[in-house]
Amino acid sequence: MITAAQIRAGRALINAKQSELAKAAGISLATLNNIERGVGDPRSSTLEAIERALGEAGVRLENDRVTESVILRRLTRPDAFDTFFASERVLEVLRPGSLTKVAKVLFFARWNRDGAGGEETDRVRVCLLIEGEARAVLFDQVGFSVAATSRVAEVAGMMVAAFAFHRDKLFYLDQVLEDTTVAALEEAVPRLRSLPWQKLDHPAAFFDVFDDWEGRLKAFAERPGHPMAELVRLAELPGTG
Whether residue 103 has pLDDT greater than 70? yes
Residue 41: strand, helix, or coil = coil
The predicted model gives 52-72 an average pLDDT of 93
Based on the domain organization, do 64 and 79 belong to the same domain? Answer: no
The pTM (predicted TM-score) of the whole model is 0.91
Q: What is the mean pLDDT of residues 228-235?
A: 94
Question: What is the distance between the alpha carbons of residues 32 and 97, in angstroms, rounded to a whole number?
Answer: 16
Q: Given pLDDT bands bounded at 50, 70 and 90, which one contains residue 55?
A: very high
Beta strands in the chain (DSSP E): 59-63, 68-72, 75-76, 102-111, 124-132, 136-139, 170-177, 198-199
Residue that terminates a domain, selected from 47, 72, 97: 72
| 60: CATH | 1.10.260.40
Residue 113 covered by a domain: yes
Q: Could you tell me if 128 and 97 lie in one domain?
A: yes
Among 72, 102, 130, which residue terminates a domain? 72
pLDDT of 119 over the 70 cut? no
Residue 240 has pLDDT above 80, yes or no: no
| pLDDT interval class at 117 (50, 70, 90) | very low
pLDDT of residue 241 exceeding 70: no
CB-based contact 157:227 (threshold 8 Å): yes
Lowest mean pLDDT among 109-123, 152-166, 168-182, 199-213: 109-123
**Number of domains composing the chain:** 2
Residues 169 and 181 reside in one and the same domain = yes
180 shares a domain with 99: yes
Please tell me whether residues 91 and 208 are part of one structural domain: yes
Same domain, 16 and 113: no
Q: How far is CA 32 from CA 35, 44, 62, 151, in A?
A: 5, 13, 19, 40
Instruction: Indicate whether 22 and 120 sit together in one domain.
Output: no
State whether 62 and 99 are in the same domain.
Answer: no
Q: What is the pLDDT of residue 237?
A: 79
Residue 147 lies in a domain: yes
Is the pLDDT at 122 greater than 80, yes or no? no
Q: Where are the alpha helices (DSSP H) in the chain?
A: 4-13, 18-25, 29-37, 44-56, 83-94, 120-123, 149-166, 185-194, 203-207, 228-235
Rounded CA-CA distance 99/87 in Å is 18
Range 178-199 burial, b when 16+ CB lie within 10 A, else e: eebbeeebeebbeebeeeebbe
- The average pLDDT across 103-123 equals 77
105 within some domain: yes
Question: Domain for residue 95, yes or no?
Answer: yes
Instruction: Note whether 186 and 93 are same-domain residues.
Output: yes
The domain of 61 spans 4-72
pLDDT tens digits for 131-151? 999 999 999 999 999 998 889
End-to-end CA separation in angstroms for the chain: 50
Tell whether 241 is covered by a domain. Answer: no
Q: Which of 150, 146, 138, 100 is nearest to 121 (CA)?
A: 146
Residue 240 lies in a domain: no
Which pLDDT score is estimated for 102? 97
Tens digits of residue pLDDT in 83-96: 999 999 999 999 99
- What residue type is 236 in one-letter code? E
Q: What is the pLDDT of residue 115?
A: 54
The answer to whether residue 227 sits within a structural domain is yes
Question: Do residues 82 and 60 both lie within one domain?
Answer: no
Residue 149 lies in a domain: yes
Q: Which of 24, 42, 72 is the last residue of a domain?
A: 72
Same domain assignment for residues 165 and 145: yes
Q: Are residues 56 and 85 in the same domain?
A: no
DSSP 225: T
